[in-house]
Amino acid sequence: MTIASILGAIVIGAVVGALGRLLLPGRQAIGVILTVVVGIIAALIGTAIAQTLGVTTTSGIDWIELVMQVGLAVVGVGLVAGLKRSRV
């Protein structure tokens, strides 16, 4: 794993996490770093699922993969926000 791929994962994770947070209704009491971490995890899991299903066949933007990643980010942000809210 190169520095470029690590930085790329962070940037894509930040975008996916932010999109997931924007699509989730209501206010989420989690910080930016936790949103990025959830986005990175969602991006990795979404990519793995898309590759397993064989839907990553295009040479450009894989829209199906991106939708999976953002959907997982919405679920992840909701879970993390719910868990954090229940602790307070």
pLDDT in tens, 22-62: 998 888 888 889 999 999 999 889 888 888 888 776 677 78
* Residue (of 65, 60, 63, 62) closest to 49 by Cα position: 65
Higher pLDDT among residues 6 and 41, named by residue? 41
Answer whether residue 17 is part of any domain: no
CB burial of 36-45 (b: ≥16 within 10 Å; e: otherwise) equals: bbbbbbbbbe
In-domain check, residue 13: no
Question: How does the average pLDDT of the chain come out, rounded?
Answer: 85
User: In terms of residue numbers, what domain contains 75?
Assistant: 28-88
Is residue 22 in a domain? no
Neighbours of 62 (CB within 10 A): 18
Task: Determine, yes or no, domain membership for 52.
Answer: yes
The pLDDT of residue 75: 94
The pTM assigned to this predicted structure is 0.84
Q: How many domains does the chain have?
A: 1
Asked if the structure places residue 43 within a domain, the reply is yes
Q: Is 51 within the bounds of a domain?
A: yes
